[in-house]
Amino acid sequence: MWRTEFAAACCTVGAMLLCSGAAKLAVPRHTQRALTELLPALAPAARLAVRALAVIEVATAVGLALPILRRYSLAGVLALGLGFAGAGVLAAVRGARVTCGCFGRDAGRPLGVRTVATGLGFSAVAATGLLADVGASGIDAVAGLILVSGLVVPFTAWLHRDLVKDLIRPREAPADAPGASS
C-alpha cells in the first residue's frame, strides 16, 4: 500500500519541479532577483545559475517518471530539497523581501518558512524512496507520466489563476477602443 502513496508523492514532487523549472526557463528574472538578494556575490552569474537550476529541476522531474532514472532523480530531489530548505532558512534569517519567483511569478511571498517546509517535504519523499530502494520499481513509467501530466495542468492553472480568470471572463473593452459603444 505504501508504494501507492509514494508514487503519488513522487509524482506530485515531479509535477512541482516540472512547473517550477519550466517557469524559471521562461521567466528567470524573478528568481534571479531573489537569488541576488539572498547571495549578492552571485549577482554576476545569477541568471546562469537560475537557468541551470531550471534545467536540473526539469531533468529531475522527467527522471522521476522513468524507472531507469528514478534512483538518480531521487538523489537529485534530495539535493534540491535540502538546497531549498537551506535557502529558506538563509532568507528567513536575513529577512528577505523579494518574492522567490519560483514559478515564474513576481507575486507571492519571499523565500522563507514555506520554502523550508517544501524543501523538507521534497527531501522526505526522496529519502523514503532511496531508503526503500524503489529504484526502477514502485511506479510504472506510463502511470507516472499520466499522473504527472494530470497534476501539472491543474497546478499550472492554479499558479496562473489570474490568467485563467481572464480566459474565462474576458475583459471589457476600454471606452476609447475602436468599436466601443459611446
> For the segment 96-119, what is each residue's pLDDT rounded down to a tens digit?
888 877 776 666 778 888 889 989
Phi/psi for 110 (5° steps) reads -70, 165
Low pLDDT (below 50) residues in the chain:
1
**Structure-block grid coordinates of residue 86:** 537551506
Domain coordinates in residue numbering, the chain: 2-162
Q: What is the pLDDT of residues 1-10, one digit of tens each?
A: 456 677 777 8
**Structure-block grid coordinates of residue 151:** 497534476
Whole-number Å distance between alpha carbons of 9 and 169: 34
